Amino acid sequence: MHKIKVGIIGAGKGGSALLETLRDFDNIHVVGVADIDMNAAGIKTAEKRGIRCFSSAEDLLRECPLDVVFEVTGDSNLVKKLRDMVPESTTLVESRAVNVMLTIIRERKELLEIKEIKEQLSVILNSAQEGIQMVDRNGIIKYVNQGYTRITGIPADQRIGTSVFDVSPDGALVEVLRTGKPCIGKRNRAVGSNAEVISNASPIIVNGEMVGAMVVFQDITEIIRLTEELKRSNSVINGLKAEIKKLSEGQGKFEDIVCQSQKMKNIINLAQKAAREDTTILITGESGTGKEIFANAIHAASPRNGKPFIKVNCAAIPENLLESELFGHEAGAFTGAGKLKLGKFELASGGSIFLDEIGDMSPVLQAKLLRVLQGQEIERIGGTHPIKIDVRIISATNRDLVDLIRRGRFREDLYFRLNVINIHIPPLRERKEDILPLTEVYINYFNRKFYKNIKGITNKAKELLMSYHWPGNVRELMNILERTILMAEGEWITEELLMPYFEQFKGREKSRTGIMPLEEMEKRMIKKALEEYGTSVEGKRKAAKALKISLATLYNKLKKYKIQM
């Protein structure tokens, strides 16, 4: 490409500006600069760029063949000389023409920069998720971005040129145009669409005068929907919290446990100390001794007393459902699992979980429970990652776990994990000092419940209570008193009122050292077989085989003797 060879005469302010301007043109080559002041700014710039510098115009014209000479000194005498000196093949451009040219070039450059900025702004505005709209001082819409169209569904060509007073008379832009002040956080529905929006509008001020206004608005339709869903979720969560709180309320305290015997006082003292230590506790004792009451009191006296206390009866829930109850399941984990279910361990987070009848737990769940104790984490059925938990485990059983371990029915490693502290509650027959205090408490309780006015119990009735063996322990005492008070017509519980209940157990009491009725013997043998082989369908099949009866006969006898296993 042929380059135009240019010379510049005058290296002051004008010459420097010209030198900088010509630098942007690829087809122009400045070959020389001349000025009588060799310290002029243009001379210094030319030297840095390797352009030849001269102290006179004559030297420049003589040394350099030029296509164009720019005279920027403004010296009329010099111009006259240059007209004679410049050869015909060279074009002389005088300073006035140079100034016009520089002005045009500068304005063109500014226009290009403005165009570039406008394009950049357009990209920025159209990439915004918010809707943007601008109007002039008369309210005529001049601009809307792509976000506006996306939110409202209205194309730009249907909006630009219309009056905002017509299309959105209650909007933020109209408020700004009327007041001249910003309008922040205005919520309304975008005209022509179903979108709920929240708008921030401001006036456009130029030289102290409002020339228009602009608004930025955000679609909050989805936010409103999510907020409503969050409210519903919070309502469910609050309901769950209330239910969990109910499980923890009224749970009882150690001071509510009625006792006069030193044996029970020692047990309570041990349990109070254990409650303060955040470790696992195993409560043992016969049915009806009050193991759940102790579990309640331990939680109430522990540092976790303000947190949930969840109770699970491992014997009352079918084996195939117990795992889901304890650990929960993911949606779709199995047939019928339509949605996520939180297990009892997660619901007890931060608090305690009471696993009653732990001796009836299957070996598979025993292994999973051991992992919970070791790692303080659970995994939902169908889950893919463990969930950290913070739960204290209190368990209870009326069975001999050591014997179950010996027979391979209970894991020894789990037993040691659960039995860090053992609270053994003695049967009522071993603490008969507690019978009469408990009787007094239950009389007062059932008086309130049944609107009775029983004053107490006669001496003969007391002797009867004290002489009984109490195989059902405290629960049996409570049941007897409930039935007796409900049926009583007088003000005192007498021996005659209690005797019908005890008469039915005379044969059983006598048979402890003598002859046992056949039905009682059969009932005991069935229970023993179920304890040996388990209560699952397979266990019952093995028990029936050991008893040398059919499975159907076993089920009939379970129903006959009302054996709940």
Contact call for residues 264 and 438 (beta carbons, < 8 A)? no
Report the chain's C-alpha Rg in angstroms: 49
Nearest to 356 by CA among 396, 385, 325: 396
Q: At what angle do helices 473-487 and 435-450 cross, to 10 degrees?
A: 40
Give the pLDDT of residue 511. Answer: 44
Of 489, 510, 531, which residue is a domain's last? Answer: 510
Same domain for 193 and 138: yes
- Which domain covers residue 556, as residue numbers? 518-560
Of 363, 393, 424, which residue is a domain's last? Answer: 424
- CA of 189: how far to CAs of 145, 165, 356, 478, 558, in Å? 18, 15, 58, 67, 70
- As a whole number of angstroms, the distance between CA 353 and CA 422 comes to 16
DSSP 373-437: HHHSEE--BT-SS-EE---EEEEEESS-HHHHHHTTSS-HHHHHHHTSEEEEPPPGGG-GGGHHH
Tell me if 477 is assigned to some domain: yes
Same domain for 487 and 550: no
Same domain for 399 and 302: yes
Q: Pull the structure tokens for residue 529.
A: 């077989």
Same domain for 436 and 419: no
pLDDT tens-digit series, residues 282-326: 999 999 999 999 999 999 999 998 889 999 998 888 877 888 888
Higher pLDDT, 332 or 166: 166
Same domain for 526 and 464: no
Interacting residues of 387 by C-beta distance below 8 A, sequence separation 6+: 346, 377, 378, 379, 380
Q: Pull the structure tokens for residue 269.
A: 């003292």
Q: Is the per-residue pLDDT at 217 higher than 90?
A: no
- As a whole number of angstroms, the distance between CA 245 and CA 204 comes to 57
Q: Could you count the other beta carbons within 10 Å of the beta carbon of residue 466?
A: 12
Residue 545, helix vs strand vs coil: helix
Tell me if 112 is assigned to some domain: no
Taking CA 215 as the corner, what is the angle to CA 157 and CA 211, rounded to the nearest 5 degrees?
85
Tell me if 113 is assigned to some domain: no
Q: Report the Cα 192 to chain-centroid distance in Å.
A: 37
Same domain for 10 and 80: yes
Q: Is the per-residue pLDDT at 12 higher than 90?
A: no
The total domain count for the chain is: 5
Q: Is the per-residue pLDDT at 58 higher than 80?
A: yes
- As a whole number of angstroms, the distance between CA 562 and CA 557 comes to 8
Q: Is the per-residue pLDDT at 512 higher than 60?
A: no
Region 9-29: mean pLDDT is 85
Q: Is the per-residue pLDDT at 234 higher than 80?
A: no
Same domain for 447 and 522: no
Nearest to 10 by CA among 35, 47, 30, 44: 35
Same domain for 133 and 101: no
Going by the DSSP 8-state scheme, the letter that residue 227 receives in this structure is H
Same domain for 397 and 331: yes
DSSP 510-526: HTTTS---HHHHHHHHH
DSSP 85-120: HS-TTSEEE-HHHHHHHHHHHHHHHHHHHHHHHHHH
Give the pLDDT of residue 226. Answer: 75
Same domain for 368 and 268: yes
**pLDDT band of 220, cuts 50, 70, 90:** confident
**pLDDT band of 171, cuts 50, 70, 90:** confident
Give the pLDDT of residue 238. Answer: 65
Interacting residues of 83 by C-beta distance below 8 A, sequence separation 6+: 92
Same domain for 154 and 258: no
Same domain for 390 and 295: yes
Q: Is the per-residue pLDDT at 560 higher than 60?
A: yes
Interacting residues of 270 by C-beta distance below 8 A, sequence separation 6+: 421, 423
Average predicted confidence (pLDDT) for the chain: 84
